[in-house]
Amino acid sequence: QCAAVCPVGAIAERSEWREVLNQLDSKRKVMVCVTAPAVRVAIGEELGTGPGSVTTGQMVAAQRALGFDYVFDVNFAADLTIMEEGTELLGRLRTAWGLEPPAAADDDSSSSSASSAGRQGHQDEAAGRGHHQGPGPLPMFTSCCPGWITTVEKSYPELIPHLSTCKSPAQMMGAVVKCYFAAKLGRQAEDICLVSIAPCTAKKYEAERAEMLREGEGQDIDYVVTTREFGRMLRERRIPLASLLEAPFDHPLGESTGAAVIFGNTGGVMEAALRTAYELAVGQPLPKLEVAAIRGLAGIKEAELTLPDDAPPGLAGRSLRVAVASGIGHARHLLQAMHSGQGPRYDFIEVMACPGGCIGGGGQPKSRDPLVLLKRMGAVYNLDERSTIRKSHQNQSVLQLYKEFLGEPNGPLAHQLLHTSYTDRSRTTLPAYSTWEKEDAPQH
């Protein structure tokens, strides 16, 4: 299979990497870089180290060499996404099963003063805007792929209530950096220039969506740079990625678990969500962390989990059916089968628009290697296996973020900052990417 074909027509990369270099040179703003899970198994390949090579530490070192003041990890926000999306799924399941919602966690107000001040202002706004709504219907669909979101809004608007309201990990990271981290620095959101490095051309459009904007604020993510464009930046500045000494991400938004990195693979969001939702619901870990049935490059995969007999009342013995679609064509087939009443009823469905998931994204390196996706996929799973912590709800920095700033998962402030809404665009004739410039399109 050939990677790097955008499934939703966002083939004209609006290239902003030279602007990013200018911003770095100008030193006018605090420069913050965040990087998506799938980039670390592909940037080395872009620069000649071969498919499947993992260069996380060198990638961070290269970002520092470019001049970024802070280097954080979108994987942190992938763990945060699981906290939000897993809680949302459990809420929908409880409603569908006729169960009472769990008791709300106590709000801990013993937080640092800078974060408390920022939190109080945001909480007042969240309460005033009434963001917190009841659980939506089943099946719930994942929402971290802008290619899939565009497909739903244009072709399947009736599915909008079924989409998780969670922003993508990158956009969650944007909100956390511009609100929480800015407050920690004692700065305003506009003092920070946030650059997101992604495997995805559609992320450029996602960052501009009106539904992502907070009232009175600019975009949370100022620039989106693809893996290939990141490679061009390093070539331009003659930064030799492969020979750099490894460097760590900055604290606290650089900590992540193995569950976060598998977001890069098809099935990874689902597997990460199951690791957390199962354990939070039944009080014990998944019998096996690797959910083999939803791994691999098949276009449609499914799995069924049965909750144990000693699960809390109302949950014992219930089954959870999930499906994973990789590629928009396979998602359409799955929807057709569901519409015709064939096959099982699902509770939770992951859709990623690119074959293989983000490892095969439109901004990733082009390759003639027929095994390239499998090599990248293996590298991602290897990173998970080597992680000391492999479940999102055990990310201590994420837990601290809730304690210090957000409150509880799916709470009012979390909803205001980390969730979004969708728009029926089925009558819109203009392509979603019509404003994109075609100049400086990628050289393949």
Q: Least distance (Å) from ligand SF4 to the CB of residue 77?
A: 13
Rounded to a whole number of angstroms, the distance between the first and last alpha carbons of the chain is: 16
From the list 17, 6, 141, the residue with the least C-alpha distance to 432 is: 6
Contact residue for ligand SF4 among 51, 91, 361, 412 (CB under 6 A): 361
Buried b (16+ CB within 10 A) or exposed e, 33-52: bbbbbbbbbbbbbbbeeebb
Contact between 315 and ligand SF4 per CB under 6 A: no
Active site residue 88: yes
Active site residue 85: yes
From the list 303, 229, 267, 241, the residue with the least C-alpha distance to 377 is: 267
Please state, in angstroms and as integers, the Cα–Cα distance from residue 308 to each residue in 236, 282, 285, 311, following that order.
56, 8, 11, 5
From the list 264, 267, 268, 175, the residue with the least C-alpha distance to 227 is: 264
| Cβ-based nearer residue to ligand SF4, 173 or 183 | 173
| Cβ-based nearer residue to ligand SF4, 355 or 412 | 355
Contact between 78 and ligand SF4 per CB under 6 A: no
Contact residue for ligand SF4 among 3, 4, 126, 145 (CB under 6 A): 145
Contact residue for ligand SF4 among 225, 272, 331, 352 (CB under 6 A): 352
Residues in 202-241 at the binding interface with ligand SF4, rule: CB under 6 A:
202
Dihedral angle at the C-alpha atoms of 93, 94, 96, 100, nearest 10 degrees?
-170
Q: Please identify which of the residues 46, 84, 143, 203 carries the catalytic annotation.
A: 203
276 φ/ψ angles, rounded to the nearest 5 degrees: -85, -50
Cα separation, 380 vs 195, whole angstroms = 23
| Cβ-based nearer residue to ligand SF4, 166 or 189 | 166
| Cβ-based nearer residue to ligand SF4, 77 or 352 | 352
| Cβ-based nearer residue to ligand SF4, 163 or 202 | 202
Active site residue 203: yes
Q: Least distance (Å) from ligand SF4 to the CB of residue 145?
A: 3
Q: Please identify which of the residues 6, 33, 144, 179 carries the catalytic annotation.
A: 144
Active site residue 6: no
Contact between 200 and ligand SF4 per CB under 6 A: yes
CA triple 289-295-298, angle to 5 deg: 165
Cα separation, 350 vs 352, whole angstroms = 7
Are 55 and 242 in contact by the 8 Å Cβ rule? The answer is yes
Active site residue 358: yes
Contact between 353 and ligand SF4 per CB under 6 A: yes
Q: Least distance (Å) from ligand SF4 to the CB of residue 354?
A: 3
Cα separation, 90 vs 200, whole angstroms = 29
Number of chain residues interacting with ligand SF4 (CB under 6 A): 12
Active site residue 179: no
Handedness of CA 156, 158, 164, 166 (dihedral sign): positive
CA triple 409-414-417, angle to 5 deg: 155
Dihedral angle at the C-alpha atoms of 387, 393, 394, 396, nearest 10 degrees?
110
Q: Please identify which of the residues 16, 88, 229, 350 carries the catalytic annotation.
A: 88
Q: Least distance (Å) from ligand SF4 to the CB of residue 360?
A: 7
Contact flags string 154-193 toward ligand SF4, x per CB under 6 A: ----------------------------------------
From the list 70, 392, 71, the residue with the least C-alpha distance to 261 is: 392
Contact residue for ligand SF4 among 37, 44, 199, 412 (CB under 6 A): 199
Contact residue for ligand SF4 among 166, 358, 398, 406 (CB under 6 A): 358
172 φ/ψ angles, rounded to the nearest 5 degrees: -60, -40
Stretch that binds ligand SF4, among 62-70, 114-122, 198-206, 292-300 (CB under 6 A): 198-206
Contact between 357 and ligand SF4 per CB under 6 A: yes
Binding site for ligand SF4 (CB under 6 A): 145-147, 199-200, 202, 352-354, 357-358, 361
Which residues are marked as active site? Answer: 85, 88, 144, 164, 203, 206, 211, 358
